[in-house]
């Protein structure tokens, strides 16, 4: 239940209107939440959450159906695979791992964009992983509170 | 392989790799089907209905704030608004006086030339929803969809000029691609001399480009660009923008022309969806075939 709820809130945050200047800096909230669940409780179906969250992002963003789903599934699986190691990392190393995961996510999106013939080549799309990694400790704190209840 | 397997508390091995491959293949299949074939339109339409509550939930606080601000605005502000609107209306009516006559004249001339450029038939007003789509594409979500008769490729205007066209239709919402999107191009004509070309979006909301004009083309800053109506997607004669800057490099064969869009692409809240009058009505009936002699 907290899983679905947090995913919904993150989905809403993904479409909340921001000033055009800040829009490029919007971190991928939903992706961070999916990573959190993949690392914390993979048994509760982290990968299914990843796939369906990705599908929701596809529909809401109006891109090729399956694009975000593919990226989230792959990176969610990677996060699940690394989870035992990530849990004992220091916060700094955790952020670095999350940065790598988010960059991989962006790369899959980038690749599908290119393969389907509408590439977005602006540099600013690579800012989101950076911001997302910086937000990871905050998300851990908030989600920890939610999870305890 | 072993690295991808994880053991849960009860000692059961869960096939992470299996699920990962399954979902990835599913996603890849979706991408290919969506890109190559057009069978997913119905599914996407249904899914967009499911996404509608989220979009509404996100947009409603902003709508509520607008409503609140409107309902607590002071009498003075309303009076000032009213005065301004009355003045605007007077100007508009003044301009309209000759419009009917001019339109009739245009129709006559068109008939003479047998020009079949589309004329607008009817329109529907849609509100832009307070929802951000992909940050790197110039698109907006509008609260009119297939249930209002919106179709893909439909021309969208705002009070200033051409805004864009419908890129995707959901049951209750539709996605409009702005003329400034990097993947969008619109056939235009320079109003002063009738020179036809194509205006291409740049991905920057306040700039279009005319990439196909030769260096010697008769175009100067300030020229008004209107839709040419060629291609049939857009009605003819609506303002697209004005030439902002013309850079001519004698070493290049093409001029570098920047256009400032006429529509308020980043601010408009109300959009006009336009239906073109079916061209068949305007064409004279085809000449009757000569009667076949009976044998």
DSSP letters spanning B79-112? HHHHHHHHHHHHHHHHHHTTHHHHHHHHHHHHHH
Across the A/B interface, how many CB contacts are shorter than 8 Å? 124
Q: What is the pLDDT of residues A30-66, one digit of tens each?
A: 899 999 888 887 777 778 888 988 988 888 877 788 8
Q: From the list A76, A80, A116, which residue is nearest B35 (CB)?
A: A116
B57 pLDDT higher than 70:
yes
pLDDT in tens, B85-133: 998 988 888 778 777 777 777 776 766 555 444 455 677 888 888 777 7
- Full set of structural domains in chain B with CATH: 17-97 (no CATH), 118-278 (2.40.10.340)
Of A23, A63, A64, A66, which to mutate for an interface test with B (greatest number of B Cβ within 10 Å)? A66
Contact predicate B220/B240, CB 8 Å: no
CB neighbour list of residue B12: distance below 8 Å, 6 or more residues apart: none
Interchain CB distance below 8 Å, A60 and B28 = no
Name chain B contacts of A18, Cβ cutoff 8 Å.
132
Percentage of chain B modeled with pLDDT above 90: 13
Of the spans A94-103, B86-95, B282-291, which averages the highest pLDDT? A94-103
pLDDT beyond 50 at A107: yes
Q: Which segments of chain B are extended strands (E)?
A: 6-7, 13-14, 120-127, 139-142, 155-157, 162-169, 174-178, 185-190, 196-201, 208-210, 224-227, 239-247, 256-261, 270-276
User: Which residues of chain A make contact with B140, given a CB cutoff of 8 A?
Assistant: none
For an interface test with A, give the residue of B9, B19, B53 to mutate (most A CBs within 10 A): B19
Query: Does residue B288 have a pLDDT over 80?
Result: no
Q: Which residues of B touch A16 (CB under 8 A)?
A: 58, 132
pLDDT, position B14: 60
Could you tell me the two tokens for B68?
């609140």
CB atoms B31 and A64 under 8 Å? yes
Percent of chain B with pLDDT over 70: 83
Min mean pLDDT across A104-108, B117-121, B247-251 is at B117-121
Find the CB nearest A18 among B31, B44, B132: B132
Mean of per-residue pLDDT scores for chain B? 79
- Residue A15 forms contact with B (CB below 8 Å): yes
- CB-based contact A51 B31, cutoff 8 Å: no
* A65-79, A82-96, B10-24: least confidently modelled range: B10-24
Instruction: Give chain B positions within 8 Å (CB) of A48.
Output: 19, 23
List the strands of the sheet with B120-127, edge to edge: B120-127, B270-276, B155-157, B162-169, B174-178, B139-142
User: Structural domain boundaries of chain A?
Assistant: 2-6+28-148
With CB atoms and an 8 Å threshold, state whether A20 touches B266: yes
Phi/psi at A132 (nearest 5 deg)?
Answer: -60, -45
Show the tokens assigned to B81: 């608004």
In 3D space, the residue among B123, B172, B163, B171 whose CA is nearest the CA of residue B139 turns out to be B163
As for the ipTM of the complex, it is: 0.80
Note whether A8 contacts B54, CB cutoff 8 Å: yes
Residue B12 has pLDDT above 50, yes or no: no
Q: B161, B191 in Cβ contact below 8 A?
A: no
> Given a cut of 70, is residue B160 above it in pLDDT?
yes
Report the pLDDT value the prediction gives residue B11, as an integer from 0 to 100. Answer: 41
- Higher pLDDT: A117 or B210? It is B210
Q: Considering only CB atoms, which chain B residues are within 8 Å of A44?
A: none
Q: Measure the CA–CA gap between B165 and A118, rounded to whole angstroms.
A: 17
State if pTM tops 0.80.
no
**3-class DSSP state for residue B148?**
helix
Model confidence at B45: pLDDT above 80 = no
* Cα(B259)–Cα(B105) distance, integer angstroms: 30
Mean pLDDT of B182-205: 89
**Chain A closest CA to B67's CA: distance in Å?**
17
Which residue of A lies nearest to B54 if distances are taken between CA atoms?
Answer: A12
Note the pLDDT of residue B117.
47
Beta-bridged to residue B188, according to DSSP, are B197, B227
């Amino acid at each position: 239940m907290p899983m679905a709820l947090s995913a919904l809130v993150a989905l809403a945050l993904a479409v909340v209107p921001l000033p055009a200047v800040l829009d490029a800096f919007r971190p991928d909230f939903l992706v961070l939440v999916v990573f959190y669940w993949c690392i914390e409780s993979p048994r509760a179906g982290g990968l299914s959450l990843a796939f369906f969250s990705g599908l929701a992002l596809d529909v809401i963003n109006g891109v090729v159906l399956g694009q975000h789903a593919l990226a989230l599934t792959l990176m969610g699986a990677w996060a699940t695979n690394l989870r035992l190691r990530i849990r004992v990392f220091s916060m700094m190393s955790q952020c670095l791992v999350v940065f790598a995961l988010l960059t991989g996510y962006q790369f899959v999106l980038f690749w599908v964009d290119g393969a389907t013939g509408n590439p977005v080549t602006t540099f600013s799309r690579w800012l989101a992983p950076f911001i997302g990694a910086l937000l990871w400790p905050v998300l851990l704190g908030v989600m920890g509170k939610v999870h305890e209840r | 392989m072993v690295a991808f397997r994880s053991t849960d508390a009860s000692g059961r091995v869960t096939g992470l790799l299996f699920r990962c491959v399954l979902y990835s293949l599913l996603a890849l299949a979706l991408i290919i089907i969506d890109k190559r074939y057009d069978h997913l339109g119905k599914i996407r339409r249904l899914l967009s209905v499911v996404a509608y509550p989220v979009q509404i939930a996100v947009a409603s606080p902003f709508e509520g704030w607008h409503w609140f601000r409107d309902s607590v605005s002071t009498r003075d502000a309303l009076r000032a608004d009213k005065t301004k609107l009355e003045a605007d209306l007077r100007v508009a009516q003044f301009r309209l006086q000759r419009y009917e006559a001019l339109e009739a004249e245009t129709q006559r001339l068109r008939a003479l030339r047998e020009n079949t450029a589309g004329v607008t038939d009817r329109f529907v007003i849609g509100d832009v929803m307070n929802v951000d789509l992909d940050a790197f594409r110039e698109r907006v979500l509008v609260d009119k969809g297939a249930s209002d008769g919106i179709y893909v490729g439909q021309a969208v205007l705002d009070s200033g000029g051409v805004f864009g066209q419908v890129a995707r239709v959901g049951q209750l919402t539709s996605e409009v691609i702005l003329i400034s999107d990097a993947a969008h191009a619109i056939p235009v004509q320079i109003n002063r001399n009738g020179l036809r070309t194509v205006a291409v979006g740049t991905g920057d909301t306040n700039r279009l480009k005319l990439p196909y004009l030769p260096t010697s083309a008769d175009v100067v800053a300030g020229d008004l660009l209107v839709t040419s109506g060629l291609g049939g997607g857009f009605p003819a004669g609506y303002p697209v923008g004005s030439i902002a800057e013309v850079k001519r490099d004698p070493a290049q064969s093409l001029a570098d022309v920047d256009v400032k869009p006429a529509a308020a692409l980043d601010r408009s809240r109300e959009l006009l969806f336009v239906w073109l009058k079916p061209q068949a009505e305007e064409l004279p009936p085809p000449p009757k075939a000569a009667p076949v002699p009976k044998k």
